[in-house]
Amino acid sequence: MSHFKWIENGSITSVPGFRAAGVTAGFKRNGSPDFAMIESEVPANFAGAFTSCTFAAAPVQICRRRVLESSTIRAAVINSGNANACTGPEGLANAEKSCQLTAARLGITSDEVVVSSTGRIGVQLPMDLIERGIDLAAAALSRDGGAAAARAIMTTDTVPKAVALTLEIGGRTVTIGAMTKGAGMIDPSMTVPHATMLCYIATDVKADNALLRELIAANVADSFNRITIDGDMSTNDTTIVMANGLSGAELTTGSEETEKFRQALLAVMQELARRMVMDGEGATKFVTVNVRHARSAADAKLAAEAVANSLLCKTAWFGGDPNWGRVVAALGYSGAQFDPGKTDICYDDMPVVRCGGDAGTPESALCGIVKQREFSVNVDFNDGAFDYWVWTSDVSYEYVKINADYHT
By beta-carbon proximity to its own copies, the closer residue of 107 and 341 is 341
CB neighbours of residue 250 within 10 Å: 17
Q: In angstroms, rounded to a whole number, what is the distance separating the alpha carbons of residues 206 and 332? A: 48
By beta-carbon proximity to its own copies, the closer residue of 72 and 234 is 234
CB of residue 152 to its own copies, shortest distance in Å: 21
CB of residue 214 to its own copies, shortest distance in Å: 25
CB of residue 380 to its own copies, shortest distance in Å: 15
Pick from 10, 312, 291: nearest CA to 160: 10
Pick from 329, 313, 317, 321: nearest CA to 285: 317
| One residue of 286, 318, 375, 388 binding its own copies per CB under 8 A | 318
407 is a contact residue toward its own copies (CB under 8 A): yes
List of residues 6+ apart from 113 with CB closer than 8 A: 66, 73, 74, 75, 76, 77, 98, 99, 102, 103, 106
Interacting residues with its own copies between 94 and 133 (CB under 8 A): 120-123
Burial class from Cβ neighbours inside 10 Å (0-12, 13-18, 19+) for residue 140 reads: middle
Interacting residues with its own copies between 190 and 219 (CB under 8 A): 190, 194
| One residue of 86, 210, 218, 385 binding its own copies per CB under 8 A | 86
CB of residue 358 to its own copies, shortest distance in Å: 5
Asked if 196 is an active-site residue, the reply is: yes
13, 196, 203, 258: the active-site residue: 196
Q: CA 353 → CA 234, 357, 390, distances in Å?
A: 36, 5, 20
Q: What is the DSSP string of 14-33?
A: GSTTEEEEEE--S-STT---
CB 66 within 8 A of CB 240: no
What residues does 288 pair with on adjacent strands? Answer: 376, 391
Stretch that binds its own copies, among 131-139, 172-180, 189-197, 249-257 (CB under 8 A): 189-197
Q: Where are the beta strands (DSSP E) in 102-188?
A: 113-120, 161-169, 172-181
Amino acid in position 251: L
CB of residue 291 to its own copies, shortest distance in Å: 13
Virtual CA dihedral for 331, 187, 322, 385, nearest 10 degrees? 40
Total residues binding its own copies (CB under 8 A):
71
CB of residue 48 to its own copies, shortest distance in Å: 18
Instruction: Kindly report the length of the chain.
Output: 408
By beta-carbon proximity to its own copies, the closer residue of 163 and 345 is 345
Q: In angstroms, rounded to a whole number, what is the distance separating the alpha carbons of residues 311 and 345? A: 19
Interacting residues with its own copies between 15 and 74 (CB under 8 A): 51-56
By beta-carbon proximity to its own copies, the closer residue of 254 and 341 is 341
By beta-carbon proximity to its own copies, the closer residue of 221 and 329 is 329
332 is a contact residue toward its own copies (CB under 8 A): yes
By beta-carbon proximity to its own copies, the closer residue of 14 and 238 is 238
| One residue of 357, 372, 374, 385 binding its own copies per CB under 8 A | 357
Q: What is the DSSP letter of 177?
A: E
Interacting residues with its own copies between 371 and 400 (CB under 8 A): 395-397, 399-400
Interacting residues with its own copies between 223 and 242 (CB under 8 A): 230-235
Site map 244..283 versus its own copies, x via CB under 8 A = ----------------------------------------
Q: Within its chain, how far is the Cα of 89 from the centroid?
A: 28
By beta-carbon proximity to its own copies, the closer residue of 273 and 328 is 328
Residues marked as catalytic: 196
